[in-house]
Amino acid sequence: MAENTTCCACSDGLTEQEMLLQLDELIGEYLDKPGGLIPALQIAQGRFGHLPESVLKKISADFGKPYSEVAGVVSFYSFFSTVPRGKYVVRTCLGTACYVRGGKEVLSALKKQLGIDVGETTDDRLFSLDVGRCFGACGLAPVIMVNDDVHQRVKPSKIGELLKAYAATEEGVAQ
Amino acid sequence: MIAPITTIIASVKELRKFSQEHAAPAGVKQILICAGGGCLASGSDQVIDALRDEVLKQKLSGAVNVTAVGCMGLCVEGPVMLVVDDMTFYQRVKPADAAEIITEHVVGGKIIERLVARDAQGEKAVACIDEIDFFKKQTKIVLRNCGRIDPECINDALNAGVYQALGNVLDGMTPDDVIDEMKESGLRGRGGAGFPTWMKWNFTRQTPADQRYMLCNADEGDPGAYMDRSVLEGDPHTLIEGMVIGAYAIGASQGYVYVRAEYPLAVARLQKAIDDAHAHGLLGDHILGSDFSFNLEIRMGSGAFVCGEETALMASIEGKRGEPRPRPPFPAQKGLWGKPTVLNNVETFANVPAIIGKGAAWYASFGTEKSKGTKVFALAGAVRNTGLVEVPVGTPLGELIYDIGGGIVDNKPFKAAQLGGPSGGCVPKQHLNVPLDYESLSELGAIMGSGGLIVMDDDACMVDVARFFIEFVQEESCGKCVPCRVGTKRMLEILTRICDGQGRMEDIDRLIELGEFIKQGSLCGLGQTAPNPVLSTIRHFREEYVEHIRDHHCRAGVCASLVRAPCQSACPAGVDIPGFVSLVGEKRYNEALMLHRNRNPFASVCARVCFHTCEEKCRRSTLDDAVSIRGVKRFMVEQEKEMQLPEVRENADNAQKKIAIIGSGPAGISCAFFLARLGYKPVVFEKEARPGGMLVQAIPAYRLPRETLAREIRMVESLGVKIETNKALGREFTLQSLKDDGYDAIFVAIGAPDGVRVDLPGCDADGVADAMAFLREYNIRGSVPVGNEVVVIGGGNAAIDAARTAVRLGADSVTVLYRRTREEMPAYAEEIEEALQEGVRIESLTAPEGIVEANGKVAGVKCRKMHLGEFDRSGRRRPEADEEDCFVVDADQVIMAVGQTIDGSVFGGAFGLDRRGWIKADPVTGQTSLEGVFAGGDSVTGPMSVVHAIGDGERAAVAIDQFLSGEKHPFWRVEQANTTDYDPDEDPVPYPRETLRMMPVDKRRSNFDEVEQAWNESEAVRQARRCLRCDYGKCAVCEEEVSNA
């Protein structure tokens, strides 16, 4: 459980075929656990970045649950995504403390900078934009999370720099 | 370092021995540095690395130990650290400070002053953690180990005594003993509802079953609360210990901790703690060699707020959609997988070992009659010391915010505290004394909740806050119950409408009605409490809802549709501030002045005496400092060579109407000015020999030169206004006589010219004067008797004006006595500062008890020192008399400036006054109970600022026009296109804020020359260009201009 389940680490360009092959190994231990479905979904998403239909169908077959039930669970929780997400998921906190300390302005700066709306992903699949409800860093509001990194006292005017640092890491990797 | 033990602790005896055997070796210097979520975000991991590198570099390994610990609480000052030797607390530590800390302090023993906290006055350095206000007023039970131990090291936890309580339990306590102890302690659930913990445990224990479950709710979803996170990340073993004890009490063999997905670090640390506890025989089979077995697993949430509700949480653990179900059956009977289950919150569990370890009686010694122990609050929002604090239940809210929290950021006024997140409500400033316990808070419509406490200042719009919470619950409603799903949606629509200026008056009652339906018709806590933030803001801040609906005004300057620019919205006269400031930036001074004059006849006066609410709301202050709007204005008005007259729409019908305005202060003249621009020819009656009201009678010439005022009054006269001086209401004429003379409408703006007299013993002595009369006498007649030793009683502008006037008239010493603190003086801060420079002495926290007389003349003022007591209804601490004896301040003149009033008898009983003695009038139109008679300015509101009176006059002019013509014609209210150049993509200019220059003190003490000096052109233009142009793109006309360009 301690492994990375929240970060939408990329699927490394895995085909759905390859995902299905890896799936057994990933979720095997949860098949017999009571209530194992959600941890299995979390692990699968953590590995693949999102949960395509074929993966959900295989999970439902493995757990012996109707597909409708699995899809119902997936659609209920906001952390699950059935479409590919960006390598970096940027979540703006709009909890109370961040809201009263200017979270809204941070969000609009992010939208402008990334050119996408909440729930969307940039064309280069680098960034997705989401809204969060309190990351527990209220003392340092406003905050945003980029995957698992918390950035504190974010100023709308500094958003560009912040994102550039992540994009630069990416270019470094590519080279 | 202690060698890690790998063997299982096989018995309670071994556990007891453990801490003795593994105590930290003497002589090793401990440095604890916070690696809690907040400090990590502030970069504490880099500081930890730097410190450890430095220890290696200086070959101090083994002698100095750098330990990464959990949250210390003072997140705002992070990264924070503690040098254990002398308990020195360092804050805002940077990696570059590491070498100095090791060399100077740890080795050299010298405290590094620049990294330590300051006292409340910001003067003295306070190094020891136990002496810092933020810490010394807390009582740490839940957070006892947070920030003191390495959360990833079980040895550290064991050394700190974690699991000793479990040892006690397994060493002879029966499950009933444990439950009895809980009962005696009075512990109530800390998740928010406050249900007695022992009762929950007892019900579950008594339900027959083959399997019971112990669950921990770590789905800390309330925005603004993060104490659970802190325990999970800072002291996970204490949580585990609490859960094992609880499991033993109820007979559970399996447990789950349900942690929200937003807390990856908490999950990682808790998982390590669980693994370590297993490895040491503190979890799993035969714990500490006993017959008791308990297994614990983590389950992670997936971003659904409703899963914080107990039945939804259990559904989620079962692998289902996290929807709540009806209760009963309660989880104690049928919980997880249909088995009896206890669900407690993290903070509740963290209390359990402390209760067992130190005894129920000890625990019950904290708190109130009905609520025992402590509560952790997450202080956030507009408070200086944001972070986690733990205080005894029942601590007054004001103490938490001011004594521990350090007060409001930038000393702004406190407006409200929001407690309990989306299920809670707000507490306004009238109730700062409320004890933080379950019952007292719910009486006010708030709740203790999970402990999130968001402090709000004047920049928070309560309607917007309500909308925020409803949007939150509307999005997070699982949708099962229609009232919650649809009702919150309807409430959101209504609130959005109100914030957009489209609200209707009946909306407020509709919100209350809907809220009650939702509360009654929802299954779970989410729906049952969802309307609370709305109901509570309506209860305490109804007038803000009304302003949004009726006046299309958002006083906080938050609601985008109602606010063109925050400065303009904050100006009571509605002056187009970005407009005139940007025109000055392009040196178009006449246009700038005309734009200003369009909404305010007194540009030059306001450039000198306005207390600029606009600057308080200036958005530039989030970048560096507010634009010096008044300074720009001051330069602008100096450029007026030829009087710039505003647009006047002549109207023959209007010119025939007779309008009387009583009082030639800012309200009266403003009303006359706007009426004249509509073609009316009003007559203004002034009691004194010179027009201007308080502007001429009370405000001294060194603040407002007489010619400046006279010139603007002449400007108004030139528009067709007639001013008749030496004509007083109740003396030369009455309301009735005006009517008899054929006046169609009357505007009463007589101000609040009389001083309030305090009944002090001896106040009839010769030499006791009233500030208003003192100032009036000097300003109108040109001379007034002044003493050598002058004492002024009061803290408002009149007190400071009188004091500074006395200095100029040659008093040897001038002392101002004020019963509260200097920060609380109602006079403008700049004026107080200047008074001090001129040699005025201010004795704050000093109350007069009586006048000392000698031969019928004033000889002094008998005073008593005060201290601050509880918070009063104004949100300030009430001054209370010290025990010490009285003392006497020598004086040969005492000037009383303790308030202003009106003499109601001048109305001849014509209309009603409110209970404070002011005229009752409609807040929008100024209409009084007499038809055709309107009122505004200080005589309605009580003493307010000049610009408020100007706004009142304008509104009255619009209302009088409507009364006489049947329609409104305020053409000046149409926003004008801003035609200056502005590139929104360009970076703001970097110049800092400048204030106006002052005449040197030695040159101003003996005369009434103007003290403030205008800037030169280049400075003024630079300052004007600092404006961020918040109005850009906010006005339809401007948009058109831009698109045509």
Is residue A6 in some structural domain?
no
Count other Cβ atoms within 10 Å, centred on residue B285. Answer: 12
Q: Is residue B396 domain-shared with residue B420, that is, in the same domain?
A: yes
The enclosing H or E element of B474 equals helix B462-476
Interchain contact B482–A (C-beta under 8 A): no
Domain assignment present for A64: yes
The residue among A76, A110, A125 that closes a domain is A76
Do B489 and B358 lie in a common domain?
A: no
Q: In the predicted model, what is the mean pLDDT of residues B784-809?
A: 95
From B933, B948, B972, give the residue that closes a domain: B972
CATH code (residue B788): 3.50.50.60
Q: Looking at the structure, do residues B671 and B744 belong to the same domain, yes or no? A: yes
In a shared domain, residues B171 and B302: yes
- On whether both B808 and B942 belong to a single domain, the answer is no
Closest approach of chain A CAs to the CA of B326, in angstroms?
Answer: 19
Domain-located, residue B141: no
How far apart CA B882 and CA B866 sit, in angstroms, is 5
Q: Which of A31, A54, A76 is the last residue of a domain?
A: A76
Do B123 and B209 belong together in one domain? no
Residue range of the domain that includes A49:
16-76
CATH of the domain at B337: 3.40.50.11540
At A139, which CATH number?
A: 3.40.30.10
Asked, for residue A107, whether it belongs to a domain, the answer is yes
A93 and A157 in a common domain = yes
| Same domain as A143, residue A115 | yes
Of A76, A102, A117, the one marking the end of a domain is: A76
Q: Does B419 touch chain A if contact means CB atoms closer than 8 Å? A: no
The CA distance from B175 to the nearest CA of chain A, in Å, is 27
Instruction: Check whether residue B675 and residue B554 sit in a common domain.
Output: no
Whether residue B525 sits in one domain with residue B495: yes
- In Å, how far are A90, A109, A110, A112 from A159, measured between CA atoms? 11, 7, 7, 10
Q: Bridge partners of B847?
A: B864
* C-beta separation of B155 from B279 below 8 A: no
* Spatial separation of the C-alpha atoms in residues B955 and B972, rounded to whole Å: 12
Q: What is the mean pLDDT of residues B605-619?
A: 93
Interchain proximity B300–A39, CB inside 8 Å: yes
Arithmetic mean of pLDDT, A133-143: 84
Nearest CA in chain A to B462: A100
Structural domain count, chain A: 2
Taking CA atoms, A35 is separated from A30, A66, B223, B309, in Å, by 8, 15, 27, 18
Q: Which of A117-126, B678-687, B750-759 has the highest mean pLDDT?
A: B678-687
Is A169 found in the same domain as A99?
yes
* Whole-angstrom distance, CA of residue B270 vs CA of residue B452: 22
| pLDDT over threshold 90, residue B402 | yes
pLDDT at A135: 84
Instruction: Tell me if B185 is assigned to some domain.
Output: yes
Q: Tell me, yes or no, whether B631 lies in a domain.
A: yes
* Per-residue pLDDT, B911: 78
Residues A148 and A99 in one domain: yes
Residue B812 lies in a domain: yes
Range of the domain at B1022: 566-643+977-1040
Shared-domain flag, residues B384 and B485: yes
User: A94 vs chain B: nearest CA distance in angstroms?
Assistant: 8
Confidence of residue B2 (pLDDT cuts 50, 70, 90): very low
B860 in helix, strand or coil? strand
**What gap in Å lies between CA B221 and CA B236, rounded to an integer?**
19
Q: Are B896 and B793 in contact (CB under 8 A)?
A: yes
Q: Can you tell me the mean pLDDT for A143-158?
A: 89
* Contact assignment for B468 to A148 by CB distance below 8 Å: no
- Considering the domain boundaries, does residue B144 fall inside one? no
Q: What is the mean pLDDT of residues B927-936?
A: 94
| Contacts of residue B876, Cβ cutoff 8 Å, sequence gap at least 6 | B820, B824
CATH number at residue B614: 1.10.1060
Which residues in chain B are closer than 8 Å to A140, comparing Cβ atoms?
Answer: 38, 41-42, 75-76, 78, 386
End-to-end CA gap in chain B: 73
Condensed to tens digits (0 to 9), the pLDDT of residues B120-149 reads: 777 889 999 999 999 999 999 999 999 999
Q: Are residues A134 and A94 in the same domain?
A: yes
Q: Alpha helix (H) ranges present in A14-151? A: 16-27, 37-48, 53-63, 67-76, 96-100, 103-114
Give the per-residue pLDDT at A140: 86
Query: Per the CB < 8 Å rule, is B454 touching A150?
Result: no
pLDDT in tens, B827-862: 998 899 999 999 999 999 999 999 999 998 999 999
Residues of B in contact with A102 (CB under 8 A): 622
Chain B residues near residue A72 by CB distance under 8 angstroms: 321
Among all chains, which residue has been given the structure tokens 């002052």? B998
Contacts of A135 in chain B (CB under 8 A): 37, 262-263
Same domain flag for A123 and A48: no
Which strands, in side-by-side order, build the sheet including B213-218? B295-300, B254-259, B213-218, B341-345
What pLDDT, on a 0 to 100 scale, did the predictor assign at position B24? 66
Same domain for B385 and B478? yes
What is the C-alpha separation between B639 and B633, in angstroms, rounded? 10
How many other CB atoms are found less than 10 A from the CB of residue B206?
12
Interface of B with A in 334-393 (CB under 8 A): 337, 378-382, 386-388
Q: Which of B42, B299, B452 sits opposite A96 (nearest CB)?
A: B452
Q: How many CB pairs under 8 A join A and B?
A: 167
Is residue A9 assigned to a domain?
no
Residue A83 lies in a domain: no
Q: Which residue does chain A place closest to B322, by CA atoms?
A: A76
Q: B312 — contact with chain A (CB < 8 Å)?
A: no
Tell me if B5 is assigned to some domain.
no
Mark which of B876, B901, B926 sits at the end of a domain.
B901
| B418 part of a folded domain | yes
Average pLDDT for B897-901: 91
Q: Are strands B857-871 and B846-854 parallel, antiparallel or unpaired?
A: antiparallel
Burial class (CB in 10 A: 0-12, 13-18, 19+), B965: middle
CA distance B617 to B620: 9
Residues B759 and B875 in one domain: yes
B221-259 pLDDT, tens digit per residue, is 888 899 999 999 999 999 999 999 999 999 999 999 999
**At how many degrees (to 10) do helices B482-499 and B507-521 cross?**
160
Query: Cβ contacts (< 8 Å) between A137 and chain B: which residues?
Result: 37-38, 41, 75, 226
| pLDDT on residue A5 | 44
B298 touches chain A (CB under 8 A): yes
Residue to test with chain A: of B76, B276, B302, most A Cβ within 10 A: B302
E runs forming strands in B599-731: 659-662, 683-685, 722-724
Cβ atoms A40, A28 nearer than 8 A: no
pLDDT for the residue B1036:
52
Element holding B69 (H helix, E strand) = strand B64-69
**Does B454 sit within 8 Å of A138, measured CB to CB?**
yes
Set of chain B residues whose Cβ sits within 8 Å of the Cβ of A112:
none
Mutation target vs A (from B262, B464, B470; most A CBs, 10 A cutoff): B262
Q: Could you give the CA distance from residue B698 to residue B685 in angstroms, rounded to a whole number?
A: 18
Q: How far B227 CA sits from the closest chain A CA (Å)?
A: 8
Q: Name the domain boundary from B559, B579, B599.
A: B559
Residue B907 domain-assigned (yes or no): yes
Please report residues of A whose CB lies closer than 8 A to that of B379: 139
Confidence of residue A172 (pLDDT cuts 50, 70, 90): low
Distance CA B786, CA B813 (A): 11
ipTM of this model?
0.88
Closest partner residue to B304 among A41, A77, A157, by Cβ? Answer: A77
Is the distance from CB of B911 to CB of B662 less than 8 angstroms?
Answer: no
Of B76, B472, B623, the CB nearest to A139: B76
Number of domains in chain B: 6
B183 and B296 together in one domain: yes
